Amino acid sequence: MTTGSLLAVDLVIAVLTAAGWLGAGSAAVARRRPLALALAALALLATLARAITIIGLARAGWWFAGEKVLVTGPLSLAAVAVAGPRLLPVPGDIRSVAVPLLFAGYATSSALFVTVLHGYPASAGAGLLAVAGTVTATAVSWRAVGARPSRAMSRAALVVAVGALVTGTGLTVVPAAAPAVPHDHGYRDARTADEPTRRFTLTAGTATVRADGRDVAAWAFNAQVPGPELTATVGDVMQVTLRNRDIGRGVTLHWHGYDVPNSQDGVPGVTQAAVLPGQEFVYRFRADQAGTYWYHTHSVSDVGVRMGLYGVLVVRPGPTAGLDVTVPVHTLVGRPLPAPRTERVEAGQPARLRLINTDSTTHRYALAGTAFRVAAIDGVDLEGPTSLVDTAVLIPAGGRYDLVFTAPATPVALFVDGRVVYSTGAVSTSTGDWPVLDPLDYGAAVAVPWSRFDRSLTLVLDRGLDLHGLLPRYAHTVNGAAAPDIPPQVVRLGDVVRFTIVNRFQVVHPWHLHGHHVLVLSRDGEPAAGSPLWLDSFDVRPGEVWEVAFRADNPGVWANHCHNLAHADAGMTLHLMYS
Ligand code: C2O
Ligand code: CU
């Protein structure tokens, strides 16, 4: 079983345990003896099963099991120890065991809350709050059931609950270390003289555009979605003037995956101020990496990108022969882009399809009618890519794959999630059951350039209750905190840095570090076995543990976030900072 499914099963069993005890307690209050006994038996069985899932999770990594071992374990044992013995032998009046059964229900429910609302890392504060909740709820039920605890008991319960509540709140609600991300610092001048310069102007504004046969209200660069395709040849200097006509929430340009100097990275509040209506900003950087990239606004990026503020950036090594097509896939107001395109291609021509996923979720691509190779991922060429047929690829949010093939005499079609977006003629194949390529296993291996790491950083991705803002929210968290309260991670120029990225939650997180490509070392402990993979966007699925590494060679303050932009917006953003 994968760790992801184990996490899901564990959660279901946790709910069953708590519901079993609570149900048994309530049935006992109502004197429904058989029901109470059946539910208590279910709770006991579920507790046993839970021991197994928790041990399994601990073996997959402490990140998955920390609070379950430290908080759930003791509370579940307390539940069994208090409720279990009272049921043997079964008492004549089942109502006499209602309170112990309810206690077991409260204990296991609070443990469940700790997992769902607090998660990783386990903290004494959360544990104490769980104890306070359990004791208080038990004391209240005791009175309600009318079994009247002795005075001494009531006092003791009150003292324990208040003590746990005070200490727990103190330990939990204290804000995390304030992030020291500098804002609007001086922009480094990237001026360069006498080099061939590619000049572009992108004007952001509201616009009505055509998507899938319908006019939709969008935010667009130069009134088109996607924005103009920016192309260059390696060695060119890019000079892009960004103007904002009427996007009230501001715009910037971020060169997704393009490792530009920090001052040109386009992150508002970090590398520049957002460009407001009537303002402009000029970006300049050298196009020194060939490959398929894209640009998008980074100001309220969840809304901005979804509404259409994105476009393609392609840097070619030199003149290319044959067919070279970009396919930026996007969902604009629920409508798929781009419109399907068909063109005639002469047999024998070399062809390259540059697939770009500009959405916030994974897409499945299938190229039918020809053998092909994956020549590059995230702009970087692969080593020794082998020929593939009838194989699909999954591209994470923000990611790019370049597929190359020699045009056959018969038609070829590219399907995205079952829809044809590009073809050279009619192809009728179903691609839905094709196997999916695992890039960690594709192409020719080359030894990892580093054997030791100067710094190891961990990112544990989860969800949790965030109480630091004005309104409480159920945030997407990193190491137990949500933006803007996640402390930045610090590296020194020249460090070889290893990142361990762990997904504890039930959704995919497409991870994206700005300013650097990272080399994949392993996934779930399995070393990457194919071509070196230098990625800027990769899906960390539920229960997965990725190890990646990079050299800290591009100083600045870099955003490091989930590229499901709604998640980034809901807390899952931190920064990598050079000391
Ligand atoms: Cu494509 Cu910070 O993002
Ligand atoms: Cu995410």
Quick: pLDDT tens for 333-379: 999 999 999 999 999 999 999 999 999 999 999 999 999 999 999 99
Which ligand neighbours the alpha carbon of 253 most closely?
1
pLDDT of residue 189: 47
The Cα–Cα gap between 440 and 541 comes to: 14
* Cα distance between residue 379 and residue 399, in whole Å: 9
Lowest model confidence (mean pLDDT) among 51-55, 63-67, 402-406, 427-431: 427-431
- What pLDDT is attached to residue 185? 43
Q: Which atom of ligand 1 approaches the CA of 559 most closely? A: 2
C-alpha angle 356-310-475 in degrees, rounded to nearest 5: 90
What's the token pair of residue 244?
């904002």
Which of 345, 321, 240 has the alpha carbon at shortest distance from 283?
240
DSSP count for the chain of H helices, then E strands: 9, 31
Q: Is 9 left (phi over 0), alpha (psi -120 to 50) or beta?
A: alpha
Does the pLDDT value for residue 481 go beyond 60?
yes
Cα 492 from chain centroid (whole Å): 26
Question: What pLDDT, on a 0 to 100 scale, did the predictor assign at position 176?
Answer: 52
How far is the CA of 243 from the CAs of 97, 222, 246, 274, 380, in angstroms? 72, 10, 9, 11, 30
More confident residue, 17 or 470: 17
Angstrom distance (rounded) from CA 556 to CA 260: 11
Q: Cβ(462)–Cβ(152) under 8 Å?
A: no
Burial of 180 (0-12, 13-18, 19+ CB in 10 A): exposed
Ligand 1 atom with the smallest distance to the CA of 514 is 2
DSSP string, 315-377: EESS---SEEEEEEEEEETTEEESPPEE----TT-EEEEEEEE-SSS-EEEEEESS-BEEEEE
* Ligand 2 mean position, distance from CA 417 (Å): 21
Residue 181 or 388, more confident: 388
Ligand 2 center–CA 79 separation, angstroms: 35
Q: Is the pLDDT of residue 478 over 50?
A: yes
502 CA to centre of ligand 2 in angstroms? 12
pLDDT over 70 percentage in the chain: 96
- The angle that helices 3-29 and 98-113 make with each other, rounded to 10 degrees, is 150
Separation of CA 546 from chain center? 12
Q: Residue 324 and residue 292: Cα distance in Å, rounded?
A: 11
User: What pLDDT digit, counting tens, does each position of 182-208 carry?
Assistant: 554 444 444 555 678 999 999 999 999
Q: List alpha helices for 469-571, DSSP H.
A: 565-569
Is residue 558 scored above 90 in pLDDT?
A: yes
The tokens describing 330, both together, are 């996007």
Closest ligand to the CA of 501: 2
Which is more confidently placed, 251 or 150? 251
Tokens of 568: 């980034």
Whether the per-residue pLDDT at 58 is higher than 50: the answer is: yes
Residue 90: other Cβ atoms inside 10 A: 12
Contact 389, 428 (CB under 8 A): no
Q: Report the pLDDT value the prediction gives residue 354, as an integer from 0 to 100.
A: 98
Burial (Cβ within 10 Å: 0-12, 13-18, ≥19) of residue 325: middle
As a whole number of angstroms, the distance between CA 165 and CA 159 comes to 10
What is the CB < 6 Å shell around ligand 1?
254, 256, 296, 298, 398, 512, 514, 559, 561, 563
Q: Which ligand is nearest to the CA of 576?
A: 1
Residue 89 is predicted with a pLDDT of: 87
For residue 119, the number of C-alpha atoms closer than 13 Å in the C-beta half-sphere is 28
pLDDT for res 4: 96
pLDDT of residue 91: 87
Long-range (24+ apart) CB contacts under 8 A made by 49-53 are 49/13, 50/10, 50/13, 50/14, 50/17, 50/76, 53/6, 53/9, 53/10, 53/13
| CA nearest ligand 1 atom 1, residue | 256
Looking at the predicted structure, is the pLDDT value of residue 179 above 80?
Answer: no
Name residues whose C-beta falls within 8 Å of residue 146's C-beta, 6 or more positions apart in sequence: none
Question: Taking all residues of the chain, what is their mean pLDDT, rounded to a whole number?
Answer: 93
Q: What is the pLDDT of residue 49?
A: 97
Mean pLDDT score, 5-33: 97
Q: How far, in Å, is the centroid of ligand 1 from the Cα of 254?
A: 7
**pTM for this model (two decimals):** 0.93
Give the closest ligand to the alpha carbon of residue 356. 1
Alpha carbon of 563 to ligand 2 centroid (Å): 6
**For residues 325 and 414, what is the distance between their CA atoms, to the nearest angstrom?**
12
Q: What is the mean pLDDT of residues 223-227?
A: 97
Helix (H) or strand (E) holding 22: helix 3-29
List, in sequence order, every beta strand (DSSP E) within 36-96.
Answer: none
Any idea what the Cα angle at residue 194 is, between residues 193 and 199, rounded to 5°? 85
**564 Cα: distance to centroid of ligand 1 (angstroms):** 9
pLDDT tens-digit readout, 373-397: 999 999 999 999 999 999 999 999 9
Residues 161, 106: Cα–Cα separation, whole Å: 13
pLDDT value for 297:
98
Each residue's pLDDT tens digit, 490-515: 999 999 999 999 999 999 999 999 99
Q: What is the pLDDT of residue 182?
A: 55
- Give the Å distance between the CA of 293 and the centre of ligand 1: 11
515 alpha carbon – ligand 2 mean position (Å): 19
Contacts for 39 with CB less than 8 Å, ≥ 6 apart: 20, 21, 23, 24, 27
For the CA of 561, the closest atom of ligand 1 is: 2
Query: At what angle are helices 124-145 and 98-113 packed, to 10 degrees?
Result: 150
Ligand 2 mean position to 459 CA, how many Å? Answer: 12
Average pLDDT over residues 8-14: 97
Residues within 5 Å of ion ligand 2 by Cβ? Answer: 509, 562, 564, 567
Q: State phi, psi for 216 to the nearest 5 degrees.
A: -130, 150
- Specify the ligand 1 atom closest to the Cα of 398: 1
Atom from ligand 1 closest to the CA of residue 537: 1
Minimum-distance ligand to the CA of 255? 1
| 231 DSSP β-pair partners | 314
Query: What pLDDT digit, counting tens, does each position of 514-545 carry?
Result: 999 999 999 999 999 999 999 999 999 999 99
pLDDT band at residue 449, thresholds of 50, 70 and 90?
A: very high
Residue 169 pLDDT greater than 80, yes or no = no
Peptide bond connecting 336 to the previous residue in cis, omega within 30 degrees of 0 = no
- Taking the CA of residue 573 as reference, the ligand 1 atom at the shortest distance is 2
Q: Indicate which residue's Cα is closest to atom 3 of ligand 1.
A: 256
Query: In the chain, pLDDT over 90 holds for what percent of residues?
Result: 86
**Which atom of ligand 1 is least distant from the CA of 294?**
1
pLDDT of residue 469: 79
